[in-house]
Structure 1
Amino acid sequence: MVRAGAYLLLALLALGVMAGCLLAERARDLASIDRRLARMAAPHVGGARAANRVSVPEYIAPLLAQAQLEITMQDLRMVALIALAVTGGLLLFAGPVAALAVVAAAPVAGWSWLQGRARKRTEALTDALPLYLDGVRQLQAVGNSLSQALERALADAPEIVRSYFAPTARRLEMGAPVAETMQHLADRLRIPEVSMLAAAIRTNLRFGGSLGTTLTNLAAILRERVRIRRELAAATSESRISARVLIVMPLLAMILLVMMNPAYIDFFVHDARGQKLATGAIGLELLGIVIVRRMMRLEF
């Protein structure tokens, strides 16, 4: 029964992958005219990689922007080929249950890796952002316009700030409005600190006032947020290590048991009751990982 259900789910997943590939090809064909027009309007922007870029759902786009990753058709084809090869090998040598478990765990692992990369890069950006704001304030104080200050301050800004703000600098250099450009960056990244900067600039340009004072206060607020985040990370370090140990312990225990008694795994692979127990154990392990990560997530 379990093997039949596993084969059925794998077949449904294969059909889903085929349907997704067809929809992606159709979306790429429909968007080809827009890309050609964009390359004709700005031939120096984008390049070949931008021409093959794949449109992603709205809820994934900010996370990819935070992680500074772009998905192209070549990337999708490579991932699909690797997934088919791994799934086929597992079906031949380990059975449908193991193949289904790997297919189910792979997206979870990929999503977790993407979230970790995005979190690390956004934390590095927020750590360096106050220094960039100080540079903008100083350049504006000596007579530069806001657009010039935002662009020229990137020369002395940390590398992480330049990598995120480079498209914004190009738009400003081409004469785009400052408020709209910064709001576009904030909408694309959806990082609270960048949204605060965009809101401060938009409010100042609309109602007037001293932007230097606003940037000074904003830099102080961002430094305070960084300090609080570091204190929270230090205060919860013991709990995070304990959570990781609890997650790894069942997997390590299973590996040690198989190493000491290789026949131990036969019950979970060949017996119907063992397959049900193995499926339930994997499901509970994944559920526990999700719950522990939710419990350890701190937002302020």
Structure 2
Amino acid sequence: MVKGGAYLLLALLIIGAMAWHWLSERKRDRVVLDRRLEAIAAPDAAPVRPIIAVTVPERMAPLLAQAQVELTVSALQTLIGVMLLATLAVLLLFGPAAALVLVVGLPLAALSWLQGRARKRIDALTEALPLYLDGVRQLQAVGNSLSQALTRALADAPDAVRSYFAPVGRRLAMGAPVAETLQQLADRLQVPEVSMIAAAIRTNLRYGGSIATVFSNLANILRERVRIRRELQAATSEAKVSARVLIAMPLLAMTLLVAMNRAYIEFFFDDPRGRTMALVAIVMEVLGIAIIRRMLRLAF
């Protein structure tokens, strides 16, 4: 059963890679055709090499935006090719069970890395946003418009703010509406702090009032959220360490058993019952990790 499932999964991966390559080539041809038509319509324009971005599901788009990772067709094709080669090598060397574990484990590991990268970068952004709002408020106090203040404050803003708000500054410099530009960033990131800024600016522009007072109050709210988050992290640090120990214990125990008796692992590869037990153990371990991470995830 495990062997047939592994080979079926490998076949599906190969078929999916071939279909993806075919669709990406069609999309690449359309993009190249559009560029040629634009060049004919505007012959004086400099040629631009097209960079084809990958359309990702709606659930993954905010995570990629938060992690500041942009998938292109060439990069994704490379990743799929490497994964297929690695799966084939593991299948030939260690058997279908190990190949099945690799096929399931690599995407989960990539997703975990992506979530960790996004969390670190968003935490840095939320901690730096109050300083950016203070800079915007000070620039407005000396006579700058809201659009000018938002753009010029980026020069002295922390790197975390500049990396996320640089497209906003470019759009504002080109004359884009402030409320729509900030709302686009909020919809793209889906971060509560950025959504609060966009909502405050949109409400102020529609109903009027002192935007400086709004920024001052919003900066205080964001500082309070950062303080509460740090207190929560300190309060749950012991539970997180305990969770890591519980996750590592089965893996460590298995490693020690194999180190003491190498024949112990042969049962899980040679015997059908052992392969079934190994697969069940891996599934339960993955489910346990997911449940523990879900329990320790705090949002406010």
Please say whether Structure 1 and Structure 2 have the same fold, judged by a TM-score greater than 0.5: yes
Does 1:95 find its partner at 2:95? yes
Task: Assess, with a 3 A threshold, how the Cα gap between structure 1 residues 263 and 20 changes in structure 2: closer, same or farther.
Answer: same
Percent identical among aligned pairs is 66
Task: Assess, with a 3 A threshold, how the Cα gap between structure 1 residues 298 and 36 changes in structure 2: closer, same or farther.
Answer: farther
Counterpart CA distance in 1 for 2:38 and 2:239 is 50
The match for 2:121 is: 121
The match for 1:244 is: 244
Counterpart CA distance in 1 for 2:222 and 2:132 is 11
Deviation of residue 53 (structure 1)? 2.0
User: Is this contact kept in 2: 1:134–1:216, CA < 8 A?
Assistant: yes
SS at structure 1 position matched to 2:70: coil
The match for 2:208 is: 208
User: Is this contact kept in 2: 1:28–1:54, CA < 8 A?
Assistant: no
Deviation of residue 176 (structure 1)? 0.6
Q: Deviations over 1:161-212 (max 9, x none)?
A: 0111000000000111111111111111111100100010011011100000
The match for 2:172 is: 172
Counterpart CA distance in 2 for 1:61 and 1:36 is 29
TM-score, length of structure 2 as denominator length: 0.93
User: Is this contact kept in 1: 2:13–2:84, CA < 8 A?
Assistant: no
Does 1:81 find its partner at 2:88? no
Quick one: which amino acid aligns to residue 174 of structure 1? M
Does 1:190 find its partner at 2:190? yes
User: Is this contact kept in 2: 1:140–1:146, CA < 8 A?
Assistant: yes
Deviation of residue 115 (structure 1)? 0.8
Counterpart CA distance in 1 for 2:17 and 2:260 is 39
Deviation of residue 74 (structure 1)? 2.1
User: Is this contact kept in 1: 2:125–2:160, CA < 8 A?
Assistant: yes
Task: Assess, with a 3 A threshold, how the Cα gap between structure 1 residues 9 and 268 changes in structure 2: closer, same or farther.
Answer: same
User: Is this contact kept in 2: 1:52–1:73, CA < 8 A?
Assistant: yes
Equivalent pairs counted in the alignment come to: 296
Counterpart CA distance in 2 for 1:224 and 1:9 is 49
User: Is this contact kept in 2: 1:35–1:51, CA < 8 A?
Assistant: no
The match for 1:63 is: 63
Quick one: which amino acid aligns to residue 145 of structure 2? S
Q: Give structure 1 stretches of 5+ with no counterpart.
A: none
Counterpart CA distance in 1 for 2:131 and 2:29 is 44
Counterpart CA distance in 1 for 2:37 and 2:63 is 27
Counterpart CA distance in 2 for 1:196 and 1:30 is 39
The match for 1:287 is: 287
Counterpart CA distance in 2 for 1:179 and 1:157 is 20
Deviation of residue 19 (structure 1)? 2.7
Counterpart CA distance in 1 for 2:20 and 2:108 is 18
User: Is this contact kept in 2: 1:67–1:117, CA < 8 A?
Assistant: yes
Deviation of residue 8 (structure 1)? 2.1
Farther-moved stretch of structure 1 (76-85 vs 161-170): 76-85
Task: Assess, with a 3 A threshold, how the Cα gap between structure 1 residues 260 and 80 changes in structure 2: closer, same or farther.
Answer: same
Quick one: which amino acid aligns to residue 191 of structure 1? V
SS at structure 2 position matched to 1:277: helix
Q: Deviations over 1:190-247 (max 9, x none)?
A: 1110010001001101110000000000000000000000000000000011111111
Q: Deviations over 1:44-93 (max 9, x none)?
A: 9xx75x62322222221111111111111221122122112211111111
The match for 2:222 is: 222
The match for 2:143 is: 143
Quick one: which amino acid aligns to residue 123 of structure 2? E
Does 1:161 find its partner at 2:161? yes
Task: Assess, with a 3 A threshold, how the Cα gap between structure 1 residues 69 and 275 changes in structure 2: closer, same or farther.
Answer: same
Task: Assess, with a 3 A threshold, how the Cα gap between structure 1 residues 33 and 238 changes in structure 2: closer, same or farther.
Answer: farther
Q: Give structure 2 stretches of 5+ with no counterpart.
A: none
Quick one: which amino acid aligns to residue 158 of structure 1? P
Task: Assess, with a 3 A threshold, how the Cα gap between structure 1 residues 205 and 32 changes in structure 2: closer, same or farther.
Answer: farther
Task: Assess, with a 3 A threshold, how the Cα gap between structure 1 residues 192 and 257 changes in structure 2: closer, same or farther.
Answer: same
The match for 2:263 is: 263
Counterpart CA distance in 2 for 1:206 and 1:17 is 49
1:2-81 superposed matches below 5 A = 2-30=2-30, 48=49, 51-81=51-81
Task: Assess, with a 3 A threshold, how the Cα gap between structure 1 residues 153 and 245 changes in structure 2: closer, same or farther.
Answer: same
